[in-house]
Structure 1
Amino acid sequence: MRSSVLAGCSRKALFSLIVGVSFLAAISVAAQEDTLSGIKNEFYVAFDGWGMAEQLVVSGKYSVNGKMGWIHKNSFAVTVDGGHLNFSRQVSDSIKSFDYRSSGYYVRGGFERNINRRNRRGERNFIFLGMHIGYSLTQHRAQDIVIPDRFWGTRYYSFGTTDHQYVWIDFSVGLRTQLSRHFALGWEVKINRKIYNTGNKSIMPYYMAGFGKTTDPFALGVSYYLFYTLGK
């Protein structure tokens, strides 16, 4: 009889534990739902201001880049971005001189996961981790290549327009801070890893659009965005 009483007490304790855990879980879910309430699936577009400002840091480099994405509440986003790059440089030293120009575009798509769970009701602030894959096509050429030589005389060269393609994967971290219902500011830091390229590997462009410098298989990228969220 004593064992049956103990068994009954154990069942009651187990039942109470299950009810208690369920109650706490319900409170937690309700709190999260309250945090996320009022946030619908949304579509946004963004302009990258760093591409235009970078010419103040890197002479001759100018790019226009944009981004768009679909946000699932405050959870994750599916993004696509792209842009165009122009770069020019005139080189003149004791060994050679030439006029170099390149132009290219890129597209990039992937996912971004929001790890910020401290949004208040109606807020859309993000701390995100992302993974993307990108493709770039860049053309470059060099004209008026002059190589002086006191023994063989001055030599003149040029190479016409050649195409180079890059495919890469990147991992990113970023921040997006809401200014108003429709506008937000943010930044993103990307680590790019080249996984495939075509073209003459002995004469590579200085920069691949969307990727960065071609001197290494890894490249670091930075973007500063102005976001606009569509809808009411």
Structure 2
Amino acid sequence: MKEKTILKLLFPALALLFLQSNTQAQEKDTIFRGLRIGADISGLMRYAFGNNASQYAFSLDMPLNKNWYPTLEVGYYQQNTQNSKLTYQLAGTYFEAGLDHNLIGVKDSTRIERDMAYLGYRLCFSNYNHKSSFYEITDSLWSPYTGSFEKQSNNAFWVQVTGGFKTELFQNFFLGWNVKMNIKIYTKTSSGIQAVYIPGFGKPSKNVNFGIGFSLYYLIPF
């Protein structure tokens, strides 16, 4: 009699434990796990439409937990301008590191969890140089002035607030779109001659710059 009573109590307990472990396993299977590698295609699109500048950027992100994703982006920018009044070259790299917060959160659908609608925060740095073998400045009152300058090194720091989407087109391949707001903290020039553009940031004459980007991603699952 005691054995039957024990079995009556033990069976529901084991069944409940099994259902709980099975539910946890299913939830675990739907959580995003892996390293997502991205390539920014915005710079290539601008270059294809005749821009005299080219930009290449690659990114990495992976989940820290259900909502936060550490992310790193490394980019390279190059500009060559040549006309009757100016011969100018600029080149440099930039780095952006921070966190993205997934606003969608964890749902039952695996697809929703792998997709992202996010807000992100970054600390950014750029090291770049520029030079001009010839430039001409014209003025209505004075005769034209011509000059040149050797390669000058510069660097800049800024913070970035970004938001966007990453959606899975098909298994492990994603398309992303984002808007960035860059807020300048500090710039340094070696000779006082400021470059026409800061890689990753934008125009140095502005303290705040905005940008739009498009990226393709591939997820390497763990």
Q: TM-score, normalised by structure 1?
A: 0.75
In 1, the alpha carbon distance for the partners of 2:103 and 2:187 equals 33
After TM superposition, which residue ranges in structure 1, 4 or more long, deviate above 6 angstroms? Answer: 31-36, 148-154
In 2, the alpha carbon distance for the partners of 1:209 and 1:87 equals 10
Q: CA deviation at 1:197?
A: 1.0
Q: In the alignment, what sits opposite 2:207?
A: 217
Q: In the alignment, what sits opposite 2:132?
A: 142
- Alignment pair present for 1:164 and 2:154: yes
SS of equivalent to 2:155:
strand
With over 3 angstroms needed to count, the CA separation of the structure-2 counterparts of 1:157 and 1:132, relative to structure 1, is same
Contact 1:135–1:165, Cα closer than 8 Å, also in 2 = yes
Report matched runs for 1:1-232 at 5 Å: 37-56=29-48, 59-72=51-64, 74-92=66-84, 97-117=85-105, 119-123=107-111, 124-147=114-137, 155-199=145-189, 202-231=192-221
Structure 1: 5+ residue stretches without partners: 1-30
Contact 1:104–1:137, Cα closer than 8 Å, also in 2 = yes
With over 3 angstroms needed to count, the CA separation of the structure-2 counterparts of 1:58 and 1:212, relative to structure 1, is farther
SS of equivalent to 1:53:
helix
1:43-64 per-residue CA deviation (whole Å, 9 max, x = no partner) reads 1100100011122567211101
Structure 2: 5+ residue stretches without partners: 1-22
Q: In the alignment, what sits opposite 1:18?
A: none
Residues matched between the structures, number: 199
In 2, the alpha carbon distance for the partners of 1:41 and 1:176 equals 15
SS of equivalent to 2:200:
coil
SS of equivalent to 1:213:
coil
Contact 2:67–2:102, Cα closer than 8 Å, also in 1 = yes
TM-align CA RMSD: 2.9
**Structure index of larger Rg:** 1
Q: CA deviation at 1:201?
A: 7.9
Q: TM-score, normalised by structure 2?
A: 0.78
**Overall identity of the aligned pairs, in %:** 23
